[in-house]
Chain A
């Protein structure tokens, strides 16, 4: 089970800040999110920054990035600023 942490509005949509989910890749975790929290949470999670064990999935294999049993996977909605 990977530990999944939600940030921003995603925590509101899922109703929790952190939970354990089953899935060996980011894509599989996203499927779990869709099943457990619905399409809106899934959409926002998919569009978020996804950080697997402190490395950006965007810089790794995207949605195919592996998530291990002890992985911490963070979903952070994209923000602006400066």
Chain B
């Protein structure tokens, strides 16, 4: 078995050294965010300022990167979350991860602070740090044009240099968007990391792997979700259904429906703006939209950006959303957190609780606002702190739409209560993916499930959180998980007896789902095409991976992240949502259109094997092979 090789790089003095991840850690955590969480916990003391030189930034791949497995180009950044103070992992589909691996490293562990603006150059097993003051202030596109073409690049824009709390890092046109990865790089005077090499990934069973990959790609291309809907509309296709289900956030999450939703829907995007679709390296799904902004062919907006820069700001100008999306990418900012913070600040301003120089009703002014935030300039520059810090200063905590400090994604959870639980319990804060993405089952997918009932939602949330955690650790795109929903259901349709029965059966399976974690991984000691990920990992790495072990990696990772959050001072009280979502019904005549978090949280903790305060029990940690916090 070939073990992952990492480099520890001290940016303060330019020294670096190689280190190999032990076989035990590799098998337990694979790589990506799971291994990142373990390493960050082990390498840093509690209480560090995430933007201090002592803070550690881990940029790593998973074992599947650069293997040719479908949708496996995702790499990860782990660090102390700039918005929440807890764990952060941010994922990106750009080419950097693949080139980092080719350069001879599975991951980089960066600490310290360069004396001047610098870049880390990783080339054929060697690392050097080069000052780059000439790159100061360049946007993410320009800087990548300036750097030699053959390298994989991970860069920040002006927002990262200015340590905007939700600054992102970019590789190609893809971004590691959430939690402030760009701010951490900026705090270390790190403008770019570039990598080049020619190392090939050695697979444990090349013939078996190729055959399995062929079968899997065929399955993805045949599946109605990954083979038709995502290539046709991208994630933007969700706008219409989200609106119809009442989960399209509108006017800072006061409503779940927007009267002009068709102006910003995936269909309108496809009919009027789409140039073509594209995708990440090695991905057969190709969900990326290409659109024209000021005559230039650029990456189009995802559903999240459409929802949050559109209906949530009552903006139905699709050209403007495309431009805002592009500007955010250039400046290096997470569109979810930025748009969410603007919506909150607008409401504060409308209520006379603060003045940020915003102009409600004039969406075109948002272009100016975005620039001001990135440069921390003028009254709008204060938005660079994010919703939570703004609410601590100006009030309005009940309508500051974040969890733990991370702004919520574009699903209004009062009509998708399991998604609400996911937001509240996600280790990195208000994230739909880290939260288990139950909106897919409750509101926008093919299965017809009761979106308002709290019953069964904790069990399903844990199941999907763990599964997605494991896929991410290996380096797979989470969209591959959507093909786990049997394709046959799409032939019947959500209104059919079959899909309605499927929804009811999933909820009814809660006693089983709540118990399986006690006997995982032994309960599923097999591999099959329902979860092709585990066999792919086994064939590529030689690890004795099974579906059961795959889900256990996810559960282990979720617990390590939780322990990190607890160590950094987050508590049960942080598993929360703003009162707007838990106390005010979305439909005034339907009192159940709130997120019944108080009912779901205790069950969630129990399923996870945590105590009533949300602390993992020693028994569950031992079961997972995680050292108890006091054991170090």
Contact count band on A: 20 to 34
Q: Chain A 2-16 against B: per-residue CB contact (8 Å), 1 yes, 0 no?
A: 000001110100000
Nearest-CB distance from A49 to chain B (Å)?
A: 5
Docked-complex contact A79 and B241, CB < 8 angstroms: yes
Q: What are the residues of chain B within 8 A of A8 when measuring CB–CB? A: 232-233, 237, 240, 266-267
Docked-complex contact B495 and A65, CB < 8 angstroms: yes
Which one of B246, B302, B303 lies within 8 Å of A54 (CB-CB)?
B246
Docked-complex contact A82 and B440, CB < 8 angstroms: yes
Q: Does B490 contact A (CB under 8 A)?
A: yes
Q: What are the residues of chain B within 8 A of A63 when measuring CB–CB? A: 495-496
Docked-complex contact A81 and B494, CB < 8 angstroms: no
Docked-complex contact A80 and B229, CB < 8 angstroms: yes
Q: What are the residues of chain A within 8 A of B303 when measuring CB–CB? A: 81-82
Q: Does B142 contact A (CB under 8 A)?
A: no
Find the residue from A46, A56, A63 having the highest chain B CB count within 10 A. Answer: A56
List CB contacts (< 8 Å) of B204-231 with chain A: 224-226, 229-230
Q: Chain A 70-82 against B: per-residue CB contact (8 Å), 1 yes, 0 no?
A: 0000101111111
Q: Chain B 472-499 against A: per-residue CB contact (8 Å), 1 yes, 0 no?
A: 0000001100100000001111111101
Docked-complex contact A62 and B500, CB < 8 angstroms: yes
Q: What are the residues of chain A within 8 A of B189 when measuring CB–CB? A: none
Nearest-CB distance from B310 to chain A (Å)?
A: 15
Which one of A9, A59, A62, A76 lies within 8 Å of B497 (CB-CB)?
A62
Given A51-B244, A56-B245, also A82-B433 (CB < 8 A)? yes
Query: Which residue of B is nearest A8, CB measured?
Result: B267
Docked-complex contact A78 and B494, CB < 8 angstroms: yes
Docked-complex contact B492 and A47, CB < 8 angstroms: yes
Which one of A26, A49, A80 lies within 8 Å of B244 (CB-CB)?
A49
Docked-complex contact B229 and A77, CB < 8 angstroms: yes
Q: Does B405 contact A (CB under 8 A)?
A: no
Nearest-CB distance from A76 to chain B (Å)?
A: 5
Given A26-B495, A65-B495, A78-B490, also A58-B246 (CB < 8 A)? no
Docked-complex contact A82 and B235, CB < 8 angstroms: yes
Q: What are the residues of chain B within 8 A of A58 when measuring CB–CB? A: 448, 494-495, 499-500, 503
Docked-complex contact A78 and B246, CB < 8 angstroms: no
Q: Does B446 contact A (CB under 8 A)?
A: yes
Which one of A54, A59, A65 lies within 8 Å of B450 (CB-CB)?
A59
Given A56-B448, A58-B494, also A82-B237 (CB < 8 A)? no
Given A62-B497, A65-B495, also A49-B230 (CB < 8 A)? no
Q: What are the residues of chain B within 8 A of A7 when measuring CB–CB? A: 240, 265, 267
List CB contacts (< 8 Å) of B279-308 with chain A: 287, 302-303
Per the bound structure, the CA–CA distance linking A58 and B442 in Å amounts to 11
Q: Does B437 contact A (CB under 8 A)?
A: yes
Docked-complex contact A79 and B229, CB < 8 angstroms: yes
Given A58-B499, A58-B500, A80-B482, also A47-B490 (CB < 8 A)? yes
Q: What are the residues of chain A within 8 A of B246 when measuring CB–CB? A: 54
Per the bound structure, the CA–CA distance linking A64 and B37 in Å amounts to 50
Q: Does A33 contact B (CB under 8 A)?
A: no
Q: Does A41 contact B (CB under 8 A)?
A: no
Q: Chain B 491-515 against A: per-residue CB contact (8 Å), 1 yes, 0 no?
A: 1111111011001000000000000
Per the bound structure, the CA–CA distance linking A56 and B446 in Å amounts to 12
Which one of A11, A26, A47, A76 lies within 8 Å of B241 (CB-CB)?
A76
Per the bound structure, the CA–CA distance linking A7 and B237 in Å amounts to 10
Q: What are the residues of chain A within 8 A of B232 when measuring CB–CB? A: 8-9
Given A11-B267, A62-B496, also A47-B491 (CB < 8 A)? yes
Per the bound structure, the CA–CA distance linking A16 and B516 in Å amounts to 49
Nearest-CB distance from B61 to chain A (Å)?
A: 21
Query: Which residue of B is nearest A57, CB measured?
Result: B495
Q: What are the residues of chain A within 8 A of B234 when measuring CB–CB? A: 81
Docked-complex contact A80 and B225, CB < 8 angstroms: yes
Which one of B444, B445, B446, B495 lies within 8 Å of A62 (CB-CB)?
B495
Given A78-B229, A81-B234, also A49-B451 (CB < 8 A)? no
Docked-complex contact B235 and A80, CB < 8 angstroms: yes
Interchain Cβ contacts under 8 Å between A and B, 18 examples = A47-B490, A48-B493, A50-B494, A50-B495, A51-B245, A54-B246, A58-B499, A59-B450, A63-B495, A74-B244, A78-B445, A79-B233, A79-B237, A81-B479, A82-B432, A82-B440, A82-B478, A82-B482
> A interface vs B, CB < 8 Å?
7-9, 11, 26, 46-51, 54, 56-59, 62-63, 65, 74, 76-82
